[in-house]
Structure 1
Amino acid sequence: VVVLALLLRGLPAGESRWLQWRASWLNWPQAGRGLLMSLPIVALSGWLVERFWPNAGGSNPLLEEVLNGRSSLALLMLAFTATVLAPLFEELLFRGVLLPVVGARWGIAAGIGVSALVFALAHLSLSEAPPLLALGIGLGWLRWSSGRLLSTVVMHGLWNGLTFFNLVLLGS
């Protein structure tokens, strides 16, 4: 709450729609385009990490426990958290607050870059940081180009949903 208050303090006066939370069916195509544009870059950076830094770790013990336990309720709760709650919270913080505040002070490139870097580091996994940085840049670009935060929430949810679906398939 303190960090949020400090960040909001840096917003230009009179900026009433700083989140630009406009719901529209346009959010889905924008999110899909952002996802399709980001996917190859994220995949390439993940492949490079695996190629040059094998066995770097980065797995989540809670995720492994849920996937190995095969509890339907636990899987549903994890899916909801990954595809709805995490994207909503993370996009509000990184692209809803951090990107516009940094962007207003140092330019949009700095806003996208800083929000992407903090997003990647917040996941606490060095091996996943490069692909998450690439994803964060894609999400930042989508936020800036669409002018809508909801588009990034949808894209982030789609990304996490694809990742979750992949993990469930590979875990079975």
Structure 2
Amino acid sequence: MPDPAPVAGSAQLRASEPASGVFAPAPRPSGWRAGLRLLGTLALVPLYLGAASLMALACVRVGADLLAGIDPFLPPSRRPFVGAMALARRALAVDILRQIFLAGLVLGTALWRDGAGWRARLALDRERPNGMRARNLLLILLLWPLVHIAWVSATAAYFGTSFGQGTRLSPMLTPAAVAAWLAYVVVLAPFAEELLMRGEIFRRARAVLGPAATIGLTAAIFALAHVSLPSPSGWGLARPVSLLPLALALGILRWRTGRLWPCIALHGWSNLALVAYVLWPE
């Protein structure tokens, strides 16, 4: 059954709610019921990410092997080596398909749960005025890359990582591969991740928690989802720390505007600015 808690931007909003994007959900559950709902919300993140990853791996493994004339069910000891470039293309394909499947899973769940109200569920509708003035939103979009780059650079210096030092695209990448990678970084990843974090998870958490706690929780989950194993670049925990301000800004933007599109725009614009900064010739 659809969750009766109203969503920012939906037709269920009370007429007495302010236009600042602060929405008043139905009475929130308390005690153990609230705890169970919150645990269920937290469990959805690895479930969505794991399912999307498995689907992407299966598709690339089987599809790429068939295109290369390889039996995808051969044991590892009998599999021919496909080459470094082919492995790199497969890795990129997995990343791209993961985001496509993630977006599909979230959209499919919203459509299944709320039917015609799926846009309102994910704050993709326009049934109420934007809670933030257009000039303020534009100012945030223009200035945020400077804040983000400064914070990421400071985080890298604190953790002793190699952020932005001698990073270059491989000269062996084809123009099509570069275009696909940029589309993944600037469009696909922001769209899919925001659908999950500031769309479905934000909505579910907001039905249990207040605005500040919801923003903090979704920011923490978003940052922890980007934890990587220690590597020669030294990122490890530095990456989630570097993403915390962005995650908090996206949560505040989602709360203030009551919409998801500004979050997707800021996320993609921030990624593009960071890529341009890292790859810009010295």
- Normalization by structure 1: what TM-score? 0.73
**Paired residue for 2:266?**
155
Query: Which amino acid is the alignment partner of residue 147 of structure 1?
Result: G
State the alpha-carbon separation in 1 of the partners of residues 184 and 203 from structure 2.
Answer: 25
**Paired residue for 1:54?**
160
Query: Which amino acid is the alignment partner of residue 160 of structure 1?
Result: N
**Paired residue for 2:139?**
33
**Paired residue for 1:168?**
279
Equivalent pair of 1:27/1:154 in contact (CA under 8 Å): no
Equivalent pair of 2:190/2:264 in contact (CA under 8 Å): yes
Deviation at 1:40, TM superposition (A): 5.4
State the alpha-carbon separation in 1 of the partners of residues 178 and 203 from structure 2.
Answer: 35
Aligned to 1:115, which of 209, 213, 218? 218
- Structure 1 unaligned residues grouped into runs of 5+: none
Deviation at 1:58, TM superposition (A): 7.7
Aligned length: 158
More contact order relative to length (CA 8 Å, sep ≥ 6): 1
Q: Deviations over 1:120-141 (max 9, x none)?
A: 1212241121221110000111
- Normalization by structure 2: what TM-score? 0.47
Q: 1:100 to 1:143 in 2, by over 3 A?
A: same
Q: Deviations over 1:5-45 (max 9, x none)?
A: xx97xx9xxx8622121369x99856533335644553453
**Paired residue for 2:183?**
80
More helix by share: 1
% identity of equivalent residues: 27
Runs of 4+ in 1 over 3 A off after TM superposition: 1-4, 26-45
Query: Which amino acid is the alignment partner of residue 156 of structure 1?
Result: H
Question: For the pair shown, which has the larger CA radius of gyration, 1 or 2?
Answer: 2
Equivalent pair of 1:115/1:136 in contact (CA under 8 Å): yes
* 1:67 is the counterpart of 2:175: no
Equivalent pair of 2:145/2:273 in contact (CA under 8 Å): no
State the alpha-carbon separation in 2 of the partners of residues 164 and 45 from structure 1.
Answer: 15
Q: 1:98 to 1:152 in 2, by over 3 A?
A: same
**Paired residue for 1:93?**
196
Q: Deviations over 1:112-163 (max 9, x none)?
A: 1111111112122411212211100001111111111011111111111112
**Paired residue for 2:57?**
none
- Structure 2 unaligned residues grouped into runs of 5+: 1-43, 49-105, 229-236
